[in-house]
Amino acid sequence: MALDRKTVPNDLSAFWMPFTANRQFKKAPRMFVSADGMFYKAADGREVLDGTAGLWCCNAGHNRPKIVEAIRAQAGELDYAPAFQMGHPKAFELATALRDMAPEGMDHVFFTNSGSESVETALKIAIAYHRARGEGARTRLIGRERGYHGVNFGGISVGGIVTNRKVFGSLLTGVDHLPHTHLPGENSFTKGQPEHGAHLADELERIVALHGAETIAAVIVEPMAGSTGVLLPPKGYLERLRAICTKHGILLIFDEVITGFGRLGSSFAAEHFGVMPDLMTTAKGLTNGVIPMGAVLATGAIHDAFMQGPEHMIELFHGYTYSGNPMASAAGLATLETYREEGLFARAAEMAPYWQEALHSLKDARHVIDIRNMGLIGAVELEPIAGEPTKRAFQAFLDAYEKGILIRTTGDIIAMSPPLIIEKAHVDQLIGTLRDVLEALD
């Protein structure tokens, strides 16, 4: 099909693109101009199968009528309402809908505009909660190696992806890290949750012994680490982490920015694994990725600890101009309705075994050294080119795009997380094309 030049700008220099190899991109731009269902349309007219739900966020697929209509209607009714000391109905409706969808006990919702902001919000709530209860010495935060918690200073401080941290100065003080849970060899090519590694949670006891529990506010982990290349929690690991946190009065924060909204075949990973955190961070699938929005969910105990002092006083000095923005709230409500009406979380669970088998059929493909999966998430790890880490997987990403599938890479790991509306034929196309790409790679 002919290039639709009307939609492609010819000056790409001004936009400094995020997490992008800017010079490479601008020499050979990859532009999407529309999207529907499981497919993007590229500027050159090709259909590209979405193997990543955008950036792990378009869980209901693209161009969903209910969401589009809700945004249209909201724009013409109430465009903006001040977020501080004023309200509008849809933010309250969405908070209630989210509470009803979340694991029992996650009773209160604080709105943000992204996963990164949800993380900062949760970390601040954790520290302020202890202070409100008279334990102001609990300020330390514990993250995990290879963890991804967005890109703001709190998030990169507790995060453990080296490239996201090392050029940005001294970060937050009073932060420690658990070891990551990736055990190549012992757990390679595991289908679903790996057997080995629950003991890695015991490292928290070592950190507690080092600093004293009375100085530690919270532990934050992704129940399943996505952005670092799909690292799954070993069986029993999250349960142990929960038990140690409870024993020492430390809050457990689950960063569910990726795992929320059906990605694992349940509403949230907390429900999936049967392990309840004290705070949960969400974003992405909350609005199907259509409008930026995030939310932190908190237990009643945490929320109520703040509800003291004179009633005219603000209880938590934190919030964003766009917290619970009307357009985002409308998109969120329509998104949650779409998930519910179409039973998309159950659908993801039903499709997961087919996805798992298709993914693991790549075990004998060229360069593959590990495959990991859970729900509708999959990772294919490639042997790096000696001395040139990331290059092989990046080439796979470029070749895959040329062949009509969108995948994502981090390091030499290919990560996939398709919309939950994916059909078996799409799985076959995605995995079949990926095999062709891998076989042709240097």
Ligand X SMILES: Cc1ncc(COP(=O)(O)O)c(C=O)c1O
Q: Which residue has the tokens 């809700």?
A: 70
Q: Site for ligand X (CB under 6 A): which residue of 59, 116, 187, 373? A: 116
Rounded to a whole number of angstroms, the minimum distance from the CB of residue 57 to ligand X is 8
Judged by DSSP in three states, 118 sits in helix
* Selected range binding ligand X among 162-170, 219-227, 314-322, 432-440, rule: CB under 6 A: 219-227
Q: Are 395 and 441 in contact (CB under 8 A)?
A: yes
Residues in contact with ligand X, counted by CB under 6 A, come to a total of: 14
By CB under 6 A, residue 149 contacts ligand X: yes
Distances, alpha carbon 418 to alpha carbons 50, 189, 292, 431, in Å = 6, 20, 19, 12
Straight-line distance from the first to the last Cα atom of the chain, in angstroms, rounded to the nearest whole number: 30
Q: Site for ligand X (CB under 6 A): which residue of 52, 59, 74, 114? A: 114
Closer to ligand X by Cβ: residue 227 or 323: 227
By CB under 6 A, residue 255 contacts ligand X: yes
Structure tokens at 256: 């569910």
By CB under 6 A, residue 148 contacts ligand X: yes
According to DSSP, residue 179 is labeled P
By CB under 6 A, residue 408 contacts ligand X: no
By CB under 6 A, residue 226 contacts ligand X: yes
By CB under 6 A, residue 115 contacts ligand X: yes
Q: Site for ligand X (CB under 6 A): which residue of 120, 222, 278, 399? A: 222
Judged by DSSP in three states, 265 sits in coil
Task: Please state, in angstroms and rounded to a whole number, the distance separating the CA atoms of residues 72 and 295.
Answer: 22
Closer to ligand X by Cβ: residue 286 or 427: 286
- CA–centroid distance for 402 within its chain: 26
Task: Please state, in angstroms and rounded to a whole number, the distance separating the CA atoms of residues 217 and 226.
Answer: 24
Closer to ligand X by Cβ: residue 227 or 429: 227
Burial class (CB in 10 A: 0-12, 13-18, 19+), 107: middle
Q: Which of residues 323-362 bind ligand X (CB under 6 A)?
A: none
Q: How far is it between the farthest Cα atoms of the chain?
A: 68
Q: Which residue has the tokens 């990046």?
A: 394
Rounded to a whole number of angstroms, the minimum distance from the CB of residue 147 to ligand X is 8
By CB under 6 A, residue 258 contacts ligand X: yes
Closer to ligand X by Cβ: residue 83 or 221: 221
Q: Site for ligand X (CB under 6 A): which residue of 150, 233, 324, 326? A: 150
By CB under 6 A, residue 144 contacts ligand X: no
Q: Residue 72 contacts by C-beta under 8 Å, 6 or more apart in sequence?
A: none
Distances, alpha carbon 326 to alpha carbons 76, 317, 340, 356, in Å = 11, 22, 21, 39
Look at residues 415, 411, 360 and name the one whose alpha carbon lies nearest to residue 383: 411
Rounded to a whole number of angstroms, the minimum distance from the CB of residue 254 to ligand X is 9
Judged by DSSP in three states, 309 sits in coil
Task: Please state, in angstroms and rounded to a whole number, the distance separating the CA atoms of residues 141 and 75.
Answer: 40
Rounded to a whole number of angstroms, the minimum distance from the CB of residue 283 to ligand X is 5
Neighbouring-strand partners of residue 120: none
Rounded to a whole number of angstroms, the minimum distance from the CB of residue 149 to ligand X is 5
Rounded to a whole number of angstroms, the minimum distance from the CB of residue 415 to ligand X is 11
* Selected range binding ligand X among 142-150, 204-212, 308-316, 374-382, rule: CB under 6 A: 142-150
By CB under 6 A, residue 143 contacts ligand X: no
Strands (E), 335-387: 368-374, 377-382
Rounded to a whole number of angstroms, the minimum distance from the CB of residue 116 to ligand X is 3
Closer to ligand X by Cβ: residue 40 or 148: 148
Rounded to a whole number of angstroms, the minimum distance from the CB of residue 372 to ligand X is 16
Closer to ligand X by Cβ: residue 50 or 222: 222
Q: Site for ligand X (CB under 6 A): which residue of 95, 106, 216, 257? A: 257
Closer to ligand X by Cβ: residue 220 or 400: 220
Q: Site for ligand X (CB under 6 A): which residue of 49, 119, 218, 221? A: 119
- CA–centroid distance for 283 within its chain: 7
Chain positions contacting ligand X, by CB under 6 A = 114-116, 119, 148-150, 222, 226-227, 255, 257-258, 283
